């Protein structure tokens, strides 16, 4: 059960900003024993994945705060955020199976990936749908504020 809750939380965070939960999982797996990723997810903690995600996080944090550009960024995020949500859910579910011997989750590992895609997709869709309205009603002044709140929420 702990694996499913962890995966669901990380997937929801990925719906707001894909790279924050991805980097959290990658860095914790690489530099501690708190998360031990199985071999099929070992690429997540590679220097290339961490470096690429860091670059994309910095780009996202800048682009998401610029009115109109944020909506274009959300269009790209429609593919990226649910995919990353599925990956972090599946990876943390697989890593936590050592601690959380839930046989149902072990028998159906694809459920975590699909669940992560759905959760991140719902959060992303809500974010992407509300952002244009915020930009119009605040003359663009709300974009950086809302983006900062989303980043903080995703980090939390």
Buried residues in 80-119 as b, exposed as e (16+ CB within 10 A): bbbbbbbbbbbbbbbbbbeebeeeebeeeeebbbebbbbb
- Low-confidence residues of the chain: pLDDT under 70: 1, 96-108
Q: How much is the pLDDT for 94?
A: 74
CA dihedral of 59, 60, 61, 64, whole degrees rounded to 10? 120
- What does pTM read for this prediction? 0.88
How many Å apart are CA 152 and CA 116, to the nearest integer?
Answer: 20
Torsion angle of C-alpha atoms 87, 24, 126, 129, degrees rounded to 10: -100
Q: What is the pLDDT of residue 93?
A: 81
> Would you state the pLDDT for residue 99?
52
- At residue 70, the pLDDT reads 92
Confidence (pLDDT) at 39:
85
DSSP state of 101: -
Compute the chain's Rg from CA coordinates: 16
Report the pLDDT value the prediction gives residue 112, as an integer from 0 to 100.
82
**Residues ≥6 apart with Cβ < 8 Å to 114:** 86
Q: Which residues contact 156 (CB under 8 A, 6 or more apart)?
A: none
CB atoms within 10 A of CB 79: 11
The pLDDT score that the predictor gives to residue 134 is 92
Contact (CB, 8 A) for 17 and 85: no
């Amino acid at each position: 059960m702990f694996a499913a809750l962890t995966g669901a939380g990380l997937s929801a965070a990925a719906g707001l900003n894909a790279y924050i939960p991805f980097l959290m999982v990658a860095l914790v797996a690489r530099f501690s024993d708190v998360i031990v990723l199985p071999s099929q997810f070992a690429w997540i903690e590679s220097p290339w994945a961490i470096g690429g995600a860091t670059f994309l996080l910095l780009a996202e944090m800048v682009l998401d705060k610029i009115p109109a550009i944020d909506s274009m960024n959300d269009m790209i995020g429609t593919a990226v955020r649910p995919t990353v949500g599925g990956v972090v859910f599946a990876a943390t579910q697989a890593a936590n199976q050592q601690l959380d011997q839930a046989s149902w989750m072990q028998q159906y590992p694809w459920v975590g990936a699909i669940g992560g895609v759905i959760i991140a997709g719902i959060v992303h869709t809500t974010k992407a749908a509300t952002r244009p309205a915020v930009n119009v009603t605040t003359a663009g002044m709300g974009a950086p504020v809302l983006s900062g709140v989303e980043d903080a929420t995703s980090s939390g």
